[in-house]
Chain A
Amino acid sequence: MSNSPASTRLVPAERLSAINSLIAEGAVFDGNFHTTKDQGIKVDGHLKGNITFEAGGTLHVGATGVIENTRLEADYVFIEGKVLGTVIARKALEITGSATLLGDASYDELIDMHPRARVRGKIEYRGDIDALPT
C-alpha cells in the first residue's frame, strides 16, 4: 500500500498528508465548503460549489475529481483533476500534467505547471511584481 501522496514539486507532501476531509470518488457534493481553520480537503468526486479556507488550507483535486462553478481559495492548491472556475492560491499553485483548468488562476508566491497540463484562462501573480528576489 502506498503511504505517500503523488509526487509534488511545490506543495509539501506533509500538507497533503494532513488533509482531513474527503469527497470520495463517485460522490456528488452540491454546496460550499468553508472553514477558518488551517485544514485540508481532497476532492475525488464531483463538487459544485466553492471551497474557501480563510487561513491556511490545502486543497487537493484528485485525478478523478471534478469541481465546477467554483471559486477555490486556499494557501496550497494542488490540481490533478478538472476545475472549472476561479482558483486563488495564497502560497503555491501546482497544476499537474493530468489536470484541466478552465478558468482564471492567481497566486501570491509560487506556481508550477507540469507539461501537458491543460489550462484555458488567465494566470495572475498577485504579489509585488517589482519586489526584489529575497
Chain B
Amino acid sequence: MRVEPSSTHSPRFNRPVAVPSTEELRSQALNASWQRDRRVARRRLAWRWAWWYARQYAWILALLTALLAAVWHWWPAPRSTSAQTPTSVPMNPGARTEQAASDEPLTLTSEKRLHTKEP
C-alpha cells in the first residue's frame, strides 16, 4: 500500500499565504458587485427603452415598411438593353428571310416558276 506524504511535510504548508483582510475583501466584493450591477442594469435599461420605442413607433415602422414594399412592387422596371434593340431589325438577315420563306405557303407563282425547270 502506497503511503502519501503528510500535508505537514509538504513545502506548500510552510509557504506564507497572503490572507486578505476583512476590509480588503469587503471592498473587492463591493467593487465586483458594482461592476456587475452596472453591466446588468445598462443592458436591462437598454432593453426597456428599446421595447418602449418599438411599441411607441411601431405604426411608423409598419407604415414605412408598407410604403417601401409598395414602391418596390409598383416601380416601373428599368428597360434592359435587349429590350431597347428593335425587333424589326434581324440580327441575322439571312436566317430571317429563310424563316419567312419557309413560313410562306408552297404555291408556285409565275415568278417562281421562272426559276424552276418544270414545264
Contact = CB atoms under 8 A, between A and B. Distances in A.
Interface of A: 1-6, 17, 19-20, 22, 24-25, 42, 44, 62-64, 80, 96-98, 116
A17 to B, nearest CB: 7
A20 B37 contact: no
A6 B45 contact: no
Q: Is the interface of B mostly helix, strand, loop or mixed?
A: helix
A63 B36 contact: yes
Contact of A42 (B33, B45, B48): B33
A2 B45 contact: no
A98 B44 CA distance: 6
Nearest to B51: A116
B29 interface: yes
23 contacts: A1-B35, A2-B34, A19-B30, A20-B26, A22-B26, A22-B29, A24-B29, A25-B36, A42-B30, A42-B33, A62-B36, A62-B40, A63-B40, A63-B41, A63-B44, A64-B36, A64-B37, A80-B37, A80-B41, A97-B45, A97-B48, A98-B45, A116-B48
A81 to B, nearest CB: 9
A109 to B, nearest CB: 24
A97 B26 CA distance: 27
B49 interface: yes
Interface of B: 26, 29-31, 33-38, 40-42, 44-45, 48-49, 52
A98 B29 contact: no
Contacts of B26: 20, 22
Contacts of A97: 41, 45, 48
A58 to B, nearest CB: 12
B34 A22 contact: no
The 10 residue pairs across chains A and B that have the minimum distance between CB atoms: A63-B40, A98-B41, A63-B41, A98-B44, A116-B48, A63-B37, A97-B45, A62-B37, A98-B45, A5-B34
Given A4-B34, A22-B30, A42-B30, 9 more contacts: A1-B35, A25-B36, A63-B37, A64-B37, A96-B45, A97-B41, A98-B44, A116-B45, A116-B49
Contacts of A17: 30
